[in-house]
Each structure stands twice: as C-alpha cells, then as structure tokens.
Amino acid sequence: MYIFATNRMKRINSLIIGQGIAGTMVAYQLQQRGLSIMVIDSGKINTASRIAAGMFSSISGKRKTFDVEMFTKQKFAIGNFRMIEKLLGVKFLREENIIQLFHSEKEKTETLERMKDENFSAQIELKNSHIKNIKDEHGSIAIKNSGWIDCELMLKAYRNYLIENNSFSIDNFKYDELEIKEDFLRYKDFEATNIIFCEGYQKRKNPFFENEHIIPCKGDVITLKHANHRNKKILKRSNYFLIPTNEETVKAGSTYLWSNDDEQLNESHGIEIKNKVDEIFSDEFEIINHQTAIRPTTKNREVIAKQHSLYKNMFMLNGLGTKGIIQAPFYANYITEMIKIK
Ligand SMILES: Cc1cc2nc3c(=O)[nH]c(=O)nc-3n(C[C@H](O)[C@H](O)[C@H](O)COP(=O)(O)OP(=O)(O)OC[C@H]3O[C@@H](n4cnc5c(N)ncnc54)[C@H](O)[C@@H]3O)c2cc1C
C-alpha cells in the first residue's frame, strides 16, 4: 500500500530501502543537497533503530577507552541531529554526563589508575559524594560528552516529514521487481538514478550484496514506571544502562544475544534487565513495556558502506552494529558523497 498514489512514473534521484537510522540519515543528507528521494519501509514496529537506547559516550567498552575516531563520528552525529531538530521542530537529543557506577572496588581502582592517561581523564569528572537513592557503595564517575537520543521520537518525526514531502511509502520492497536499466533503475512507479539499501539485519534477503555478511545480535530493553522516581540522571553499571525518559518512566537495558535472530519476546530477558535495575535502585518499579529487536552487526565491527562493484548506482549502508545510532550520520555522509546527481 502506498501512502500516496500516482498513475504516472515518478522520476527521482534516489530510492532508499529502509527507514531505520541508516535510511533516515541517508534521506536527510540527500534532501539537504536538494535531491529528490523516495523512502520505502515495510512498517515493522520493533526494529533496532526504534527500540535503541540511543546512548552515546566519549568513553565506552569494557575497558572504558577513549576512541578518537568514534569521538569524531559522535561530534558529526550531534551536529546532524541538532540540525534535524531545527528542521523538524522536535527535541530528541539530550547532551548530559552519564554516571558510571562501579560494580566493585577492583573496577574503581583500575579506573582511577587510568586517570594518568590525559585523553581519558579529560573526559571524566570525579565524584566524591554518594548519589541519593542509588546503590553506589563502590562510588562512581561522571563521563562528559555523553547523552542520548530519543530514537523512536526522531524516526517518527522524520517519517512524518517525509510523508509531508511525498517521499515515503509503506511497502515491503521486492528485490525481483527491481529493473536495472543502463543509467537508471525502475521499481513499480519510480524511476531512480540511484538506489541505497538500508535494511538492517533483514539484508540477508538482498541478492545484490550477497558477499556482505550480517551477524544478528538480539537485544532487549524494558520501560519501568515509578510514580515517585527521584533520580533524573543517566546511569550505567557494567553493560546495563538506565535512562529517565520522563517524570515517571525509565528505559533500561540491554541484553546482547550474538548470532541470534529470533524476533520473539522472551520474558526471561526482561526479568534479567529488571534484576540489574534492582542492583541500582531500592525503589520498586513496575515493567510497563518490554521490546526486542535485532542489531545488524558484522565480523570485526566493519560497517558496510559501499557501492556495488558492477552496478555503480547501487549502494548499501548496513552493519552499524551496537553503536549504530551514533555512527549512522558519518557513514550516510560517506555514501551520499558517492551518489550520482543526475
Ligand atoms: C536494544 C538495543 C539497544 C541499542 N542501543 C544503542 C545505543 O545506545 N547507541 C547506539 O548508537 N546504537 C544502539 N543500538 C544499535 C542501533 O540500534 C543499530 O545499530 C541501528 O539501529 C541499525 O540501524 P539500521 O537502520 O541499519 O537497521 P534497522 O533499525 O533494522 O532498520 C532497517 C529498516 O529497514 C526496513 N526494511 C528491511 N527490509 C525491508 C524491505 N525489504 N522493504 C522495506 N523495508 C525494509 C525495516 O522495517 C527497518 O525499518 C541498539 C540496538 C538495540 C537492539
């Protein structure tokens, strides 16, 4: 079903398949260049981009490292997201310190030892006092240059913008219906100069990029409610995070089930996250939502941002992995630089 219908063939610059964060960022950057687009999305509700925590941080990973390359991508992403906020008139980006709670004295000692590294210490604010209502017996640090993006809000708002501009269609793209002509592509009512595939882990069905392999990684998040929730900070403890999303609710997650593409919700994964939340708060919380989705990851964490070797007007952006929200703008820019303008 199309959001709008037309009897005539519509000539556009680019067809974009998928409106996750990858497709959305490609769409935004092409529109900024004044190019006409059509985004086709199957309308699936629980996708990686929609349920993602959207967290970003200058220090990350088990070893808590400062990665200059990732930091540059993060800066680029924040710039893009701020411009999209202006364009849409919607606020979805929050820049604020993340509080990392130590789970043991050993972790605390090792982290404080790392303060000798100037790159690391420049991103850290030491906390000498305990945080009210939080079980922080081993202490904590604040990580600067961090925050989160309300991805669901951003994607919905961008979809509305695309609809208003007659640039969005709900459709399950069928690869065998794509006609490849000498200097354009035809799909149903559209003739496009370029096509950019951004299907997330469902890329497996794409016959044009068979050599690129996606490793699915299932992840769950839960939303918790408490009428008198007093903490308003983003908290992290080991791999688990808590984000206060409004006055009453907290988003918490997430799990990592590598090589797992089972889209079914498994209650035990929600309880696993809730148990981690209980290690942080003494307050009682009620689970009001539980979601699961599949992250598109790759071997060696290499993002797939490439042009087809034979069809020069065919591109793919995928494999954004566990940090897809924050990496997408940078790689979307890389793709759009290669796009044919005609
Ligand atoms: C629980 C969880 C927490 C996460 N937390 C973070 C985080 O804190 N920070 C961070 O940076 N990243 C995070 N991520 C990772 C991030 O969400 C992903 O890397 C990113 O969303 C991948 O985006 P994508 O657009 O490539 O894929 P997707 O989000 O899967 O989007 C693909 C889109 O393509 C559509 N599609 C697929 N096939 C077709 C077809 N044939 N026709 C039409 N449409 C099609 C789908 O419906 C979907 O809308 C998290 C992920 C999960 C699951």
Q: What is the mean pLDDT of each run of 10 residues along the chain (342 residues)?
A: 59 98 98 97 96 94 87 97 98 96 92 91 86 86 96 98 98 97 94 98 95 96 83 88 90 95 95 92 88 96 96 97 97 94 74
Predicted local distance difference test score (pLDDT) of residue 129? 77
Q: How many CB atoms lie within 10 A of CB 130?
A: 12
Predicted local distance difference test score (pLDDT) of residue 282? 76
Q: Which atom of ligand 1 is nearest to the CA of 174?
A: 41
- The residue ranges of every structural domain in the chain are 10-51+152-213+300-338, 95-148+214-299
CA of 319 to the centre of ligand 1 (A): 9
Q: Rounded CA gap, 75 and 87, in Å?
A: 19
Q: Ligand 1: which residue has its CA nearest to atom 37?
A: 199
Predicted local distance difference test score (pLDDT) of residue 42? 97
CA of 302 to the centre of ligand 1 (A): 16
Asked, colleague to colleague, whether 10-51+152-213+300-338 and 95-148+214-299 share their fold, the answer is no
Q: How many CB atoms lie within 10 A of CB 234?
A: 25
Q: Strand, coil or helix: what is 211? A: coil
User: Tokens 């708002």 label which residue?
Assistant: 157
Pocket mutation for ligand 1, best pick of 76, 254, 322 (most atoms within 8 Å of C-beta): 322
Through-space distance between the first and last CA atoms of the chain, rounded to whole angstroms: 28
Predicted local distance difference test score (pLDDT) of residue 8? 77
Q: Rounded CA gap, 214 and 88, in Å?
A: 32
Asked if 109 and 155 count as a contact pair (C-beta separation under 8 A), the reply is: no
197 CB-side CA count, 13 A? 29
Q: Strand, coil or helix: what is 248? A: coil
Q: State if residue 323 touches ligand 1 by the CB under 6 angstroms criterion.
A: yes
* CA proximity to 236, closest of 98, 61, 64, 131: 98
Q: How many CB atoms lie within 10 A of CB 239?
A: 12
Q: Which atom of ligand 1 is nearest to the CA of 323?
A: 11
CA of 49 to the centre of ligand 1 (A): 4
CA of 284 to the centre of ligand 1 (A): 31
Under CATH, which architecture does the 95-148+214-299 domain have? 2-Layer Sandwich (3.30)
CA of 151 to the centre of ligand 1 (A): 10
Rg of the chain over CA atoms, in angstroms? 21
The DSSP letter of residue 97 is P
Q: Alpha-carbon dihedral of residues 329, 295, 202, 330, nearest 10 degrees?
A: 10
Q: Is the peptide bond before 309 cis (omega within 30 degrees of 0)?
A: no
Q: 177-211 burial by CB neighbour count: b if 16+ within 10 A, else e?
A: ebeeeeebbebbebebbbbbbbbbbbbeebebbee
Pocket mutation for ligand 1, best pick of 26, 39, 44 (most atoms within 8 Å of C-beta): 44
CA of 21 to the centre of ligand 1 (A): 6
Strand positions, DSSP E, 177-285: 179-180, 185-187, 190-197, 215-225, 234-237, 240-244, 249-253, 257-258
Q: Which two tokens stand for residue 323?
A: 């940090």
Q: Ligand 1: which residue has its CA nearest to atom 44?
A: 41
In one-letter notation, the amino acid at residue 322 is T
CA of 249 to the centre of ligand 1 (A): 23
Predicted local distance difference test score (pLDDT) of residue 135? 87
Q: State if residue 150 touches ligand 1 by the CB under 6 angstroms criterion.
A: no
Q: What CATH number has the domain spanning 10-51+152-213+300-338?
A: 3.50.50.60
Q: Which two tokens stand for residue 26?
A: 């490609």
Q: Strand, coil or helix: what is 316? A: strand
Q: Which two tokens stand for residue 337?
A: 């630089």
* CA proximity to 16, closest of 28, 33, 6: 28
Q: State if residue 216 touches ligand 1 by the CB under 6 angstroms criterion.
A: no
